[in-house]
Amino acid sequence: MPATAVASSKIDLFGLTRDELFALVAAWGFSAASAARLWRYLHREAATSVDGMDELPPRLQTQLASHARLELPEVAGENSSSDGLTRKYLLRLAGGHEIETVRMRYRDRVTACLSTQAGCALGCVFCATGQRGFDRNLTAGEIVAQALHIQRSLFGVTGSGPPERLRNIVLMGMGEPLLNYDAVMQAIDILRDPAGLAIANKRITLSTVGVVPGIVRLADEARPCSLAVSLHAATQEQRAALVPAAKTWPLDELIEACRYYTQKLDRRIFFEWTLIDGQNDSPEEARCLAQLVRGMPAHINLIPLNRTAGFDGQPTLSAATTRFQAILREHGLPVTFRQRRGLDIAAGCGQLAGAVANRALAITP
Ligand code: SAH
Ligand code: SF4
């Protein structure tokens, strides 16, 4: 059985795939029907305690109470944006580290932005998580538990109507998913399970700073998720100034890995570009980006810079944003300008700092 429990000898049920959970329940001497019921309690009903699992044999309930961990992380803080559409949760993990998880409601869908590490070691200059530093990797169970927490928060939101379902997951919260590869892949498999949250493959997006070996591995293993690569600059020198990880995985190797990914899987790739006034938003830069990704099935996501305490850059002005977008379109590139969400609660891209004490660091415009 995978060792997914942290600071506890109990088995973390949220970190088990359905097959692994069935094997555990069988090893304890219970039927597959009981295992299926337990899976439903966990992944459809987002149950957080053995109390209320009335349809399980009492002996299985006792076994679970003594050998399994099935509490979702403690909510150490939460707040909603003024428009009510974005809600940010500060979750306390076993062992005391804190992470942030964000729920974003759109007209036709709900998206959860999940963290994959407590903090991040990669230090992108504009990112509050990078400014905070690295604590530890999350387990698969801790990643899945964030999604279940969001699904649970949706129960009752619609009053007497059917509960809203979480349909989209972005691995764009705290941390670098490809530096926690195994746990993230295990979590993706659990989140996709058709008898569980059943998130469609294309609706799970993994965002990476550009960890080249991880991108190649995703391609070789044909992992079922969408891939977004945080590019932010189209020359090695400029990129390395914003994204120190570019010194480890240089731009030419990164682009080669991206081409390999798109060809091997016959999939498009998303490139993220945080627009920073006067730093990476010139027409020349737009043309350079178009040249860089030429011939690749690419989609560009422009992100307005969200201000953070440790970086004095400013978001690009709207005229320059429009011009940048227009040049990419002239080169035939599909472009989306990401909506700004949850800035008044520091829940925007790159604003997740985690610990309550650090929260004041995040500045809103
Ligand atoms: N480590 C991964 C995923 C988490 S960051 C990665 O870097 O891709 C998610 C996205 O937010 C990345 O594209 C990142 O570059 C962007 N981001 C970080 N700080 C930001 C900020 N202050 N404003 C806007 N986007 C930011
Ligand atoms: Fe880490 Fe991503 Fe933030 Fe860079 S942008 S510091 S890789 S979380």
Do the beta carbons of residue 48 and residue 75 sit within 8 Å?
no
* Nearest atom (ligand 2) to Cα of 120: 1
pLDDT at 4: 44
Give SS3 for 360.
Answer: coil
Q: Can you state the percent helix, strand and coil of the chain, rounding each to 5? A: 40, 20, 45
Q: Is the CB of 129 under 6 A from ligand 2?
A: yes
Task: Please give the Cα distance from 119 to 313 (Å, whole number).
Answer: 21
With the most atoms of ligand 2 within 8 angstroms of its CB, the residue from 125, 176, 273 to mutate is: 176
pLDDT of residue 6: 45
Probe ligand 1: pick from 129, 226, 274, 341, max atoms within 8 Å of CB?
Answer: 274
Look at residue 48 in the predicted model and tell me its pLDDT: 87
At residue 189, φ and ψ (nearest 5 deg) are -60, -40
- Which amino acid is it at 312? D
Distance between Cα 133 and ligand 2 center (Å) = 10
- Among protein residues, the one with the nearest Cα to ligand 1's atom 1 is 176
Task: State the catalytic residues.
Answer: 100, 349
Q: Is 210 left (phi over 0), alpha (psi -120 to 50) or beta?
A: left
The tokens for 222 are: 């044909």
**Residue among 115, 130, 269 at smallest CA distance from 183:** 115
Q: What is the pLDDT of residue 159?
A: 53
Beta-carbon contacts of residue 332 (< 8 Å; ≥ 6 apart): none
Q: Which atom of ligand 2 is nearest to the CA of 209?
A: 7
- Dist. CA 146 → ligand 2 center (Å): 19
Q: Which ligand is nearest to the CA of 133?
A: 2
Instruction: State the closest ligand 1 atom to the C-alpha of 126, by its place in the atom list counted from 1.
Output: 22
CB of 79 within 8 A of CB of 113? no
Strand partners, 222: none
Give the CA diameter of the chain: 68
Question: How far is the C-alpha of 230 from the C-alpha of 298, rounded, in Å?
Answer: 13
What's the rounded Cα separation, in Å, for the pair 46 and 217? 32
DSSP string, 197-225: T---GGGEEEEES--HHHHHHHHHTT-SS
Euclidean distance between CA atoms 68 and 45, whole angstroms = 18
Copy the structure tokens of residue 231: 């590019």
Res 360: pLDDT? 31
> Which is nearest to 121 in space by CA: 139, 133, 104?
133
Mutate to test the pocket of ligand 1, among 114, 170, 207, 269 (most ligand atoms within 8 A of CB): 207
254-308 per-position pLDDT tens digit: 999 999 999 999 999 999 999 999 999 999 999 999 999 999 999 999 999 998 9
Cβ(176) – ligand 2 distance below 6 Å: yes
Q: What number of other Cβ atoms are within 10 A of residue 341's Cβ?
A: 21
How far apart CA 90 and CA 99 sit, in angstroms, is: 6
- Compute the distance from residue 310 Cα to the ligand 2 centre, in Å: 13
Q: Where are the alpha helices (DSSP H) in 210-336?
A: 212-220, 236-242, 251-265, 283-292, 318-330
* pLDDT (tens digit per residue) in 7-28: 468 999 999 999 999 999 999 9
Model pLDDT, residue 365: 28
Spans of the chain below 70 pLDDT: 1-8, 156-162, 340, 349, 354-365
Nearest-angstrom CA–CA distance, 239 and 235: 6
CA of residue 229 to ligand 1 center, whole Å: 10
Q: Which residues contact 119 (CB under 8 A, 6 or more apart)?
A: 129, 132, 133, 134, 135, 136, 174, 175, 354
Distances (CA, A) of 165 to 58, 155, 318: 30, 9, 34
pLDDT value at residue 356: 35
Q: Which residues pair with 110 in a beta bridge?
A: 105
Q: How many whole angstroms separate alpha carbon 14 and alpha carbon 180?
A: 17
All domains in the chain, ordered by first residue? 3-69 (1.10.150.530), 74-363 (3.20.20.70)
272 Cβ below 6 A of ligand 2: no
User: How far is Cα of residue 104 from the mean position of the Cα atoms in its chain?
Assistant: 12
Ligand located closest to 310 CA: 1
Q: Which amino acid does the sequence have at 108?
A: D
